[in-house]
Amino acid sequence: MADLQTLHQLFEDELRDVYDAERQILKALPRIIDAASDDGLRDALNKHLDETRGHVDRLEQAFELLELKARGKHCAGMEGILDEGRALLEQDGADAVLDAAFIASCQRVEHYEITAYGSLMAWAKSLGYSEALGLLKANEAEEKAADATLTKLAESTINRQARAAEDERHDGQPRKHLSARR
């Protein structure tokens, strides 16, 4: 456990945590890409895989700027999120439904990262680490863009395809819907 007596120590601890998170993602994302059936989803995830390599590079630059060794601290939060995603790879189901699940899983990853970068940016600003702040902002911007791309894919095609798969499963028969009870 790191000693957290100063804001700098907290910043360094979180920087190591997000560095490990990004490296975990680099290992996990190719399996999701391989399992995805939608070309647009695979393309978006491949693009983000390339961006994630850049995130690692930028974090290493931030470590260098701060004269710290680029070393991760195990990110248990990301491990848990990625474990849930890996469990999806074992599921059978309609392609579009699985793609919708992959999007949800990937968005959990993005939201975790966006939150981590937001905290790091606030601390970097407070500590006067302006060069590191610029690197962190670049990573956060790409995380937000990836999240927006996944939302667009889900809303424009994949969720509709998943719904169509559900309708086909019921052979066109009306399904019973639960109504809200008050």
If one counts every other C-beta atom within 10 angstroms of the C-beta of residue 76, the result is: 11
Q: Contact, 130 vs 63, CB < 8 A?
A: no
Q: Contact, 94 vs 158, CB < 8 A?
A: no
Task: Write out the two tokens for 6.
Answer: 């100063």
pLDDT score for 51: 98
* Helices within the chain (DSSP H only): 7-35, 39-65, 76-88, 95-127, 130-153, 159-169
Q: Which residues of the chain are under the pLDDT cut of 70?
A: 1-2, 167-182
pLDDT score for 170: 57
At 21-55, the pLDDT tens digits run 999 999 999 999 999 999 999 999 999 999 999 99
Q: Give CA–CA dist 173/167, Å, rounded.
A: 8
Task: Give the chain's domains with CATH numbers.
Answer: 7-169 (1.20.1260.10)
Phi and psi, residue 12, nearest 5°:
-60, -40
138 CB-near residues (< 8 Å, 6+ apart): 58
The CA-to-CA distance between both ends of the chain, in Å, stands at: 48
pLDDT score for 124: 98
pLDDT score for 172: 52
Task: Write out the two tokens for 115.
Answer: 């939150």
